Amino acid sequence: MSNPVAHTSAQPARRLLPVIAVAAALLVGGCASKGEIDITSGVGVTQVLSACPAVGVPVHTNEITLFNPAASREASAIDVTAAITSLSVECNDQGDQIYAIASFDVQASRRDYAAAREVTIPYFSTVVQGGRNVVSKRIGQLTLRFAAGEYRATASGQAAAYVNRAAATLPDNIREQITRERKPGDADAAVDPLSIPEVATAVQRATFELLVGFQLTQDQLKYNVTR
């Protein structure tokens, strides 16, 4: 099903904590646009919180290595390697349900490039709220097609998600604390609103991420962590 897109932004694949225990990037620096909060503190720091989910790749899930024989972990047994690159997101935040679609490329190389070959690799997409609560998770597959005599192959994938606008919206009292103008000389002029526990908790709860990575086996994940 197609969806109109309100705006597009390109972001590098971010390294986060392992899936489930992700570190949320609560605020993304930039210029505020419609539907975003421009946070300007008394010390001249500007940050922006958008209702659209940020996109990222959990650490250790952006690469996958296939071995032949499968049980070997010797460098000479490496069959295919692949990595997620060029991660970007498009977001429509105009309705009650915010629609985001992440696009990415997978670049792969192989050891034996004599014959044509297809390699199918599973990947996941998950929506995380507040840096730790998994709202949804889906598994997809992406097929790499190596031409005869070609050492490398590239494929493209996408992952879509919906986020409830109400859940991604800060309460009015929290917005007021964040956006209230602070002037030099005010008692709280140098106080970062996010240092207030109530504000920090509300911002974290209203923050969503759309994370994409390879669906690794335990052995594949262990290899990525320990190599």
Mean pLDDT by 10 residues, the chain (227 residues): 39 38 31 45 49 94 97 95 97 93 98 96 96 94 98 97 92 82 73 81 91 97 94
Q: What's residue 36's pLDDT?
A: 52
Q: What's residue 48's pLDDT?
A: 55
Q: What's residue 198's pLDDT?
A: 87
Predicted structure pTM score: 0.75
Model pLDDT for residues 152-195, shown as the tens digit of each residue: 999 999 999 999 999 998 888 888 887 777 777 777 667 777 77
Q: What's residue 138's pLDDT?
A: 96
| Long-range contact pairs involving 194-197 (C-beta distance under 8 Å, separation at least 24) | 194/26, 194/27, 194/39
Q: What's residue 49's pLDDT?
A: 66
